[in-house]
Structure 1
Amino acid sequence: MKQSLHRLFGDGFRIFFLAAGVFGLLAAIYWQAWLGVHAFGGMVTEHSFAPPPHLWHAHEMIFGYAGAALGGFFLTAVPNWTGAKAARHGFIVLVAGLWLAGRVAIWMSGSLPPVLVAAVDLAFLPVLATKILTQLLNRPKPQNMMFLGLLTLVWLANATVHADWIGLGGPGAEVGLRAGLLGICAMIAVLGGRVTPAFTRNAMTRAGRETDLPASRKPVELIGIALAIGLPVLVLAEAPERLIAVLAVICGAAQLARLAGWRTGWTLGQPILWSLHLAFGMLGAGYLLLGLSLTGMGSEVAALHVLGIGTVGGMTVAVMSRAILGHSGRALVAPRPVALAFGLIGLAAVIRWVGSSAQIDLYFAAMLVAGALWIAAMALFVLSLLPAILGSSAAE
């Protein structure tokens, strides 16, 4: 037990990916309970947190769940990119503690000064980014240094939310939440755009395939990445909605055009690969739906959930699963429960979109079914990969 606990804080991916899965599970259970009460005519009027429940839910899934996934990814990937020393136990304990303190502060925000809540919740990303900076400077490359800018953008989005909750004014909490989600989607546009074709190409090469490998077209790549990064900036700047709508549609089309060259069909028998393609496809679809919704065609909330569940949820679980298996010395083959989790997340995104977009009243039913699928996916992810998270690594 003591050895497993020591190992848990020995690598960034262990504690943060476990935290993401467990928090994604528990936060969704609470949200489902609240929805269930209201779906059957009840009313819950008192909470330990200060913001309205739907804003708490959005904030914690964007900055809580996804924040943990980002922490584990960068603490694991950046040393591999740069050859820098990985973070030590003490730092991992510190930064994990800051992330957890943020979750507790938000949960107890109904009885805490909002300035204190903001200070605690906003502390995590700057400390994480400082460590990432020191590691990136070991081998600075513009394509990697850019992630510091994206992390700053996500932090500014969270600060915008807290400014509203404190009463300082500004664009407002909902603008900050949308910008935070789009900031994380921008990271997926960049990172997912790297790893999805690269991992597919590697697998095809290992299988003896030498032709028709995944290919990327630079102009499309640049358009897709530039627009993905620009959208959260425009949202924070409160740019005209029509401009955001047009750029979101173009961005979505660019992401789907990128995906079209990555040989998705070849991956269908390998969940560890098709999960990446599915999540990236959700990215393109989500941008398209968001842009259309801003012109009055469809629900904006539904489109944002395609991005939140299908893209952020799908890509984080796919990447976390692959990293856990690879760094613990296991074969890069998704266990059946994890493969099922990949599919459940994609299905949850579709059902949640249908619930807000259908002409008949399916809202609560779709919300509850989508939430149940998400909870099942998180439970499968955590329970199936917990032995690998707590077990020895390939290096040991």
Structure 2
Amino acid sequence: MSTSERRRNYHGPVLLSHGFRAFFLLSALWAALAMVIWVAMLSGADILPMAFDPFSWHAHEFLYGYLGGVIAGFLLTAVPNWTGRLPVMGIPLAGIVGLWLLGRVAVATSALIDWRLVMLIDLAWGLTLLGFLAREVLSGRNWRNLPVLTLLAVFIGGNALFHIEAANAGAAFEGTGMRLGLAAALLLIAFIGGRIIPSFTRNWLVARGAKRLPVPFNRGDGLVLGLTVVTLTGFVVVPEATFMRWLMLACGTAHLWRLARWQGLRTTAEPLLWVLHLAYAALALGFWAEAAAGFGLIAAAPARHVWLAGAIGLMTLAVMSRASLGHTGRPLHANGGTTATYLALLGSVVMRVLAGIVPDQVWLLHLSGTLWFLAFGGFALLYLPVLARPRLAAKPVSGPRRA
């Protein structure tokens, strides 16, 4: 049975018909709820029986909880399209979703469970996902996407190391496990974002008769990715080395050069596109922010949030909204509500960075958290009807290729 035949013959819950449906919805809800819990913790509330310190829980549940769910939803949808093989749906998909949810519960109640069991529960969804993707990529001989598989394995390894450091060293949010998972996530953005952003932009501009188009992937892009691998390896292994600040500065400049070739300034009429360019700009500026922190110009926390909230937050929100519209047969256009979620998240990023720069202004943290909640809570509210209802009837499709 072909992929399309299996999808046509599926009669189970709509949310379990594609990986993106359940995972995007639940990940957005978790991003909003976890922020509420985090703000309560900042106010002194002790509301979760967890072994993690509050800062480590906050970092873990954004990086390995929220982002892990988005990665799962994206890859479970994209890999069958890349390989032409059967998608995961129905009971198997419910199993992976259930394991991800169980991981969130285990971490939140980790004071009640042995840390080794918490780690195994939290790793279960990722290892299951990795096994499925490895089977699909290898069986389909889809060698082009082996780097994605490798980065997912690194991401899962970072999660395991985070648990080990949390159990033995305490402040895991500053540890190697955190940096390893973050490095894997940033490389995924550089690798996959470098494919989809110029491609979507090119298709949109061509449909409007534009002559100046994004430069396709070439040797320059390969050199930027190579520099990124070297820089992020140093970030994980020797983050305090003096040369790292210069390497970060060079890498950020290289990504800005790469981004400048994609004609982003010509996409201002379509929020689905400019938000992708903005998210990639946050990736580049995050390298500069890390360099500034290395030179002692700003504190480490606001610098790190340019990557965490800016690059990862904006890119995932952009991909979730675009993929949800495209894969459900809806026009690839951001309406006012979707655009408002992008602007709310952008405001959240700016407020979070300012909160780390302007002294004794706790209200900036609360404002950042509120805007974050509005962005992801707004996405969940706006896209629930999109994700929980069947695909619209097929119509002639033109314009950008779907994520």
Q: TM-score, normalised by structure 1?
A: 0.92
Distance 2:31 2:47 in 1: 22
Structure 1 pair 45–352 and aligned structure 2 pair: CA distance change class (3 A): same
Aligned to 1:389: 387
Question: Aligned-pair distance for 1:230?
Answer: 3.6
Distance in 1 (alpha carbons) for counterparts of 2:283 and 2:270: 20
Q: Quote the offset at 1:55 in angstroms.
A: 0.9
Question: What amino acid is the match of 1:226?
Answer: G
Task: Find the counterpart in structure 1 of residue 398 from structure 2.
Answer: none
Instruction: Please list, as runs of the form range in 1=range in 2, the aligned pairs for 1:245-394 lying within 5 A after superposition.
Output: 245-358=245-358, 360-362=359-361, 364-394=362-392
Give the equivalent residue in structure 2 for 1:6: 13
Q: Deviations over 1:232-284 (max 9, x none)?
A: 43344346532332222222111111110111111111111111011011110
Give the corresponding residue for 2:29.
22
Cα distance, 1:297 vs structure 2: 2.2
Residue type of the alignment partner of 2:220:
V
Q: Specify the code of the residue in structure 2 equivalent to 1:67.
A: G
Check if 1:189 corresponds to 2:187: no
| Offset of residue 291 of structure 1 | 2.1
- Secondary structure in structure 2 of the residue aligned to 1:190: helix
**Quick one: structure 1 residues 120 and 312, their matched pair in 2 at CA, closer, same or farther if it must change by over 3 Å?**
same
Instruction: Give the SS at the match of 1:245.
Output: helix
Offset, 1:213? 0.4
Q: Matches of residues 113-192 of structure 1 in structure 2 within 5 Å? A: 113-167=114-168, 174-192=175-193
**Structure 1: how far apart are the matches of 2:139 and 2:336?**
39
CA distance in 2, matches of 1:180, 1:394: 37
Check the 8 A contact 2:56/2:166 in 1, yes or no. no
Matches within 5 A, 1:78-97: 78-97=79-98
The answer as to whether partners of 2:180 and 2:236 remain within 8 angstroms in 1 is yes
Instruction: Note if contact 2:224-2:251 (Cα within 8 Å) is conserved in structure 1.
Output: yes
- Deviation per CA, 1:148-204: give whole Å up to 9, x if none: 110111112111111123338999862211221222111001111111110000011
Give the AA of the match of 1:14.
R
- Contact preservation (8 Å) 1:217, 1:258: no
Number of equivalent positions: 385
Distance 1:230 1:97 in 2: 36
Q: CA separation of 1:293/1:139 partners in 2, compared to 1, >3 Å: closer, same or farther?
A: same
Could you tell me how far apart the structure 2 residues matched to 1:127 and 1:261 are? 38
**Residues 90, 395 of structure 1: alpha-carbon distance in 2 compared, 3 angstrom cutoff:** farther
1:135 positional shift: 1.5
SS at match of 1:122: helix
Give the conservation status (yes or no) of the 8 Å contact 1:180–1:232: no
User: 295-304 or 162-171, which moves further after superposition?
Assistant: 162-171
User: Could you tell me how far apart the structure 1 residues matched to 2:382 and 2:101 are?
Assistant: 23
Change (3 A) 1:44 1:29: closer
User: 1:4-63: per-residue Cα shift (whole Å, max 9, x none)?
Assistant: 97111111000100111110010011111222x2xxxxx345641111111100100000
User: Greater shift after overlay, 219-228 or 177-186?
Assistant: 219-228
Identity of aligned pairs, percent? Answer: 33
For residues 100-120 of structure 1, give each alpha carbon's deviation from its aligned partner in whole angstroms, at most 9, with x where no partner exists.
Answer: 111010000011111110111
Gaps of 5+ in 1: 38-42
More displaced stretch, 191-200 vs 4-13? 4-13
RMSD: 2.2
Paired with 1:214 and 1:343, the residues of 2 have a C-alpha distance of 25
Contact 1:4 1:391 in 2 (8 A): no
> Displacement of 1:231 after TM fit?
4.0
> Is the contact between residue 107 and residue 122 of structure 2 (CA under 8 Å) also seen in structure 1?
yes
Aligned residue in 2 for 1:40 = none
SS in 2 for 1:123: helix
